[in-house]
Amino acid sequence: AFDVLVVGGGPAGAAAAIYAARKGIRTGIAAERFGGQVLDTMAIENLISVPHTEGPKLASALETHVREYDVDIMNLQKAKKLIPAARPGGLIGVELENGAKLKAKTVILTTGARWRQMGVPGEDDYRNRGVAYCPHCDGPLFKGKRVAVIGGGNSGVEAAIDLAGIVAHVTLIEFDGQLRADEVLQRKLRSLSNVKVITSAMTTEVLGDGDKVTGLSYKDRNSGDVHHVELEGIFVQIGLVPNTEWLKDDIALSQRGEIEVDVRGATSMPGVFAAGDATTTPYKQIVIAMGEGSKAALSAFDYLIRQVPV
Ligand code: FAD
């Protein structure tokens, strides 16, 4: 059995595995896709002390660093069930989709999240070429340009306010007849001169020149008319979905499906910790996931040294 079994191989999982292995305890990491969301991005300019890197390069650096230690890496393995220990301090089970059952004294859940997509023509083609999902990450790339934000909930309106300070112009597009963000955010948004809000609008297509985004089309849901907007960037803010469906019967999740963690990364199940985008910890970012993953590993170690041998 493992002392620490990490589920998930993104920045949070890699950090947790390294911190655990450095304690000289038996560490394993099972990941559906080692590297995580980092594999889906190109330019990364906010990993502090690394002014510029690229997603695939960072993903391979994460793996190289984990391989410096004696960590049992199980890549392309998806966990489907978490089984609580039969007695306090006993072994926790993790069942994989391939049928294997892993056992560990502690488990660290770092299964991350995925951005909900619009699912319209052009979105996939222009991902990272104008279509973006993270204003904290990619906002500065659109300095002085025109962008749209898709989604008028809290994250969409926050993104529009944030981007309005960087870009030339923001068009916020909301499907519903009205914005759904908190009133205080809406008031702030209305005070900005370079933001236009369009409601009752369904984005129908991302337009581009073969190389990068040049605009979008939306349908006015009242009149049925289709309109085009010329712009250089589109920030999709219609939800970040945590990869926690498989945990819902066993671990306390928030209303949004995020794993509830305390300040030490502990979950509702004894011996099980969690970190990164899958948790209630705010601001889904690489440095934050790495810090939280490290913290969860130290918490798991602290839990282990307090177990009395039976
Ligand atoms: P993830 O990276 O999501 O990793 C989750 C891991 O768990 C993966 O290995 C996955 O395969 C695995 N997994 C999921 N379910 C299971 C399961 N059931 N069993 C086993 N394994 C499972 N952040 C920045 O700080 N700067 C940026 O510039 C930046 N740009 C981004 C651009 C894009 C396009 C995207 C999508 C995100 C970007 N982010 C950026 C956000 C950043 O990638 C995430 O905050 C970070 O990757 C979260 O790390 P994580 O380890 O918590 O989760």
Residue of the CA atom closest to atom 37 of ligand 1: 37
CA of 88 to the centre of ligand 1 (A): 32
Report the pLDDT value the prediction gives residue 175, as an integer from 0 to 100. 97
Q: Is 285 in the pocket of ligand 1 (CB under 6 A)?
A: yes
Q: Is the pLDDT of residue 310 over 80?
A: no
State whether CATH 3.40.50.970 applies to domain 2-114+240-305: no
DSSP 96-108: ETTS-EEEEEEEE
Residue in 40, 72, 137, 220 annotated catalytic: 137
Q: Is the pLDDT of residue 281 over 90?
A: yes
Q: Does 210 appear as a known binding residue?
A: no
pLDDT tens for 114-151 read 999 999 999 999 999 999 999 999 999 999 999 999 99
Report the pLDDT value the prediction gives residue 140, as an integer from 0 to 100. 96
Q: Is the pLDDT of residue 261 over 80?
A: yes
Which comes out higher in pLDDT, residue 274 or 41? 274
Q: Is 299 in the pocket of ligand 1 (CB under 6 A)?
A: no
Q: Are 130 and 30 a contacting pair, CB within 8 Å?
A: no
Q: What are phi and psi of 290, to 5 degrees?
A: -65, -45
Does 70 qualify as catalytic in the annotation?
Answer: no
Q: What is the dihedral of CA 293, 295, 297, 298, to 10 degrees?
A: 170
Does 302 qualify as catalytic in the annotation?
Answer: no
CA of 114 to the centre of ligand 1 (A): 7
Q: Does 243 appear as a known binding residue?
A: no
Domain topology for 117-236: FAD/NAD(P)-binding domain (3.50.50)
Report the pLDDT value the prediction gives residue 309, as an integer from 0 to 100. 77
pLDDT tens for 152-208 read 999 999 999 999 999 999 999 999 999 999 999 999 999 999 999 999 999 999 999
pLDDT tens for 37-70 read 999 998 999 999 999 999 999 999 999 999 999 9
Q: Are 179 and 157 a contacting pair, CB within 8 Å?
A: yes
Give me the residue spans of the domains in the chain.
2-114+240-305, 117-236
pLDDT tens for 14-33 read 999 999 999 999 999 999 99
Residue of the CA atom closest to atom 39 of ligand 1: 285
The span from the CA of 177 to the CA of 199, in Å, is 5
CA of 194 to the centre of ligand 1 (A): 32
Which two tokens mark 226? 């289709």
Instruction: Kindly report the average pLDDT of the chain as a whole number.
Output: 97
Q: Does 131 appear as a known binding residue?
A: no
Report the pLDDT value the prediction gives residue 42, as an integer from 0 to 100. 85
Q: Is 134 in the pocket of ligand 1 (CB under 6 A)?
A: yes
Mean pLDDT confidence for 223-248: 97
Q: Are 2 and 26 a contacting pair, CB within 8 Å?
A: yes
Does 138 qualify as catalytic in the annotation?
Answer: yes
Side-chain half-sphere exposure of 227, counting CA atoms within 13 A: 16
Q: Which atom of ligand 1 is nearest to the CA of 12?
A: 51
Residue 86's contacts (CB-CB under 8 Å, 6 or more residues apart) are: none
